[in-house]
Amino acid sequence: FMGKIFSDPCLKENIKIVGKSPSGINVYEYDYKNVEGRYRGVLANEVPWASSHDKHGHLMVDYSKVDVDFMRVK
């Protein structure tokens, strides 16, 4: 998936580190609060070069700038 994904830690729960990308970025699995499913990706605060804020102040990650794929795992 390419594009920006909400990745603010305050929007997530049950965050668990599951590995590292080839460039050393931590990879996590987590649940979004009030969203069905479990997801794999990064935490925006750990990839500032790929992060920006939306109009509400939540961090988003541009996954085209990191070597981690965002995906739903459950």
Q: pLDDT tens, 13-64?
A: 999 999 999 999 999 999 999 889 999 999 999 999 999 998 888 899 999 9
- Closest-CA residue to 66 (of 48, 44, 50): 50
Q: Are 44 and 3 in contact (CB under 8 A)?
A: no
User: At CB < 8 A and 24+ separation, what contacts does 28-36 make?
Assistant: 29/73, 32/6
pLDDT bucket at 2, cuts 50 / 70 / 90: low
Least confident of 3-12, 13-22, 65-74: 3-12
Is the model more confident about 71 or about 56?
Answer: 71
- Distance, in Å, from the CA atom of 24 to the CA atom of 11, rounded to the nearest integer, reads 24
- Distance, in Å, from the CA atom of 68 to the CA atom of 66, rounded to the nearest integer, reads 6
Output the pTM of the full model.
0.88
Residue 3 has pLDDT above 80, yes or no: no
Q: At residue 9, what are phi and psi to the nearest 5 degrees? A: -55, -30
